[in-house]
């Protein structure tokens, strides 16, 4: 068994440079090999980008490349509008708006997700209608997508409606973004990340809750990254980090007890059905090669196989 390294400086990721560009801090980063795409326009009188930050999470008992009619999904979308940083807020908790969608209200996993969602009512939706609903939520705005371990979520979006990922200015993975600010040589689970950032949580693995808490984690990753270099901080930076921290730690009415998510039952397939599914997956992989961010997903798959951690906590 390989020995665990000692103190580590963390891995500077492109995600960290993108966050600095979005929130307008540590812009004179030196020695970085990364040049993220230019993301949106500036908010008037600031160095902050005028964008929506959308956190997504997709949960299903089946795969993500091929959507079968029998699959049950719960899908979370949480939105943070950077415009809220330029005006006073009476309630920090209102800065993040969260949604949860299910495609089968009668299925046990969807019922559990609807019951467990902490941030409003769950909306039933046909999967083909989700791209249009997504377009309504982002109408007229530049946006980036955020997810914790984004590979499967982006596969789902590409399969359902490639424009959702294709029109994003950037796709940011909090698994990677956390490594430099938290000085990690491995990757944190969402539970471990929230604990490290002192963000109270409950009912994870209901997609709407995961999307919400991942977005809060992203804000605190930004704060930790900015405060790593106190000599570069301006008064505006300090005010920004205080605002982001207050939003990330805004109180949530957590349940007294937590019901565990149901375990998805494996569907037994016959020989012919297995053959059809295998052929469908092969076709889906060929199609995904032509879809947005497919190259990045393939590269991440290769990197993940080479760097699989032996543990999720120190």
Q: Are 17 and 39 in contact (CB under 8 A)?
A: no
Cα 175 to Cα 194: distance, rounded to the nearest angstrom? 12
The answer, yes or no, to whether residue 314 has pLDDT greater than 70, is: no
The answer, yes or no, to whether residue 307 has pLDDT greater than 60, is: no
242 by Cβ neighbours in 10 Å (0-12 / 13-18 / 19+) ranks as: exposed
Q: How many CB atoms lie within 10 A of CB 188?
A: 23
The answer, yes or no, to whether residue 198 has pLDDT greater than 80, is: yes
pLDDT classification of 282: cutoffs 50, 70, 90: confident
- The arithmetic mean of pLDDT across residues 142-162, rounded, is 94
Mean pLDDT of the chain: 86
Residue-level pLDDT at 164: 96
Q: Are 148 and 43 in contact (CB under 8 A)?
A: no
Cα 12 to Cα 298: distance, rounded to the nearest angstrom? 20
Contacts of 58 (CB under 8 A, 6+ apart): 64, 73, 74, 75, 76, 152, 153, 156, 157, 207
Q: Are 125 and 255 in contact (CB under 8 A)?
A: no
Residue-level pLDDT at 269: 60
The answer, yes or no, to whether residue 290 has pLDDT greater than 90, is: no
- DSSP strand pairing (73-81 vs 96-102): antiparallel
Contacts of 250 (CB under 8 A, 6+ apart): 91, 92, 93, 95, 96
Residues 102-137: tens digit of each pLDDT: 999 999 999 999 999 999 999 999 999 999 999 999
Cα 199 to Cα 174: distance, rounded to the nearest angstrom? 15
3-state percent breakdown (helix, strand, coil) of the chain, nearest 5: 40, 10, 45
The answer, yes or no, to whether residue 47 has pLDDT greater than 90, is: yes
pLDDT classification of 88: cutoffs 50, 70, 90: confident
Angle, alpha carbons 11-17-18 (nearest 5°)? 125
**CB crowding 194-224: b at 16 or more within 10 Å, else e:** bebbebebbbbbbbbbbbbbbbbbbbbbbbb
pLDDT classification of 310: cutoffs 50, 70, 90: very low
Residue-level pLDDT at 278: 73
User: What domains, with CATH codes, occur in the chain?
Assistant: 14-306 (3.30.420.10)
The answer, yes or no, to whether residue 304 has pLDDT greater than 60, is: no
The pair phi, psi for residue 143, each rounded to 5°, is -150, 155
Residue with the two structure tokens 């609807």: 114
């Amino acid at each position: 068994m390989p020995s665990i390294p000692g103190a580590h400086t963390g891995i500077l990721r492109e995600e960290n440079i993108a966050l600095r560009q979005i929130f307008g801090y540590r812009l004179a980063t030196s020695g970085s090999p990364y040049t993220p795409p230019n993301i949106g326009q500036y908010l008037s009188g600031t160095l902050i980008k005028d964008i929506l930050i959308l956190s997504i999470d997709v949960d299903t008992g089946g795969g993500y490349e091929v959507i079968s009619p029998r699959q049950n999904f719960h899908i979370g979308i949480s939105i943070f509008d950077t415009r809220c940083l330029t005006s006073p807020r009476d309630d920090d908790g209102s800065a993040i708006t969260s949604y949860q969608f299910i495609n089968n209200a009668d299925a046990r996993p969807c019922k559990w997700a609807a019951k467990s969602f902490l941030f409003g009512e769950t909306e039933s939706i046909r999967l083909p209608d989700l791209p249009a609903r997504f377009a309504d939520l982002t109408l007229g705005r530049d946006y980036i997508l955020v997810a914790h371990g984004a590979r499967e979520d982006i596969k789902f979006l590409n399969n359902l409606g490639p424009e959702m990922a294709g029109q994003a200015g950037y796709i940011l993975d909090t698994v990677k973004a956390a490594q430099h600010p938290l000085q990690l040589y491995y990757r944190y689970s969402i539970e471990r990340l929230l604990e490290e950032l002192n963000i109270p949580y409950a009912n994870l693995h209901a997609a709407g809750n995961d999307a919400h808490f991942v977005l809060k984690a992203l804000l605190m990753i930004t704060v930790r990254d900015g405060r790593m270099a106190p000599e570069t901080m301006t008064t505006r930076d300090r005010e920004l980090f205080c605002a982001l921290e207050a939003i990330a730690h805004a109180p949530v009415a957590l349940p007294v007890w937590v019901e565990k998510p149901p375990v998805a039952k494996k569907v037994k397939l016959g020989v012919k059905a297995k053959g059809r599914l295998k052929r469908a997956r092969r076709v889906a992989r060929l199609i995904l090669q032509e879809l947005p961010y497919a190259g990045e997903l393939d590269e991440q798959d290769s990197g993940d196989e080479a760097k699989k951690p032996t543990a999720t906590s120190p």
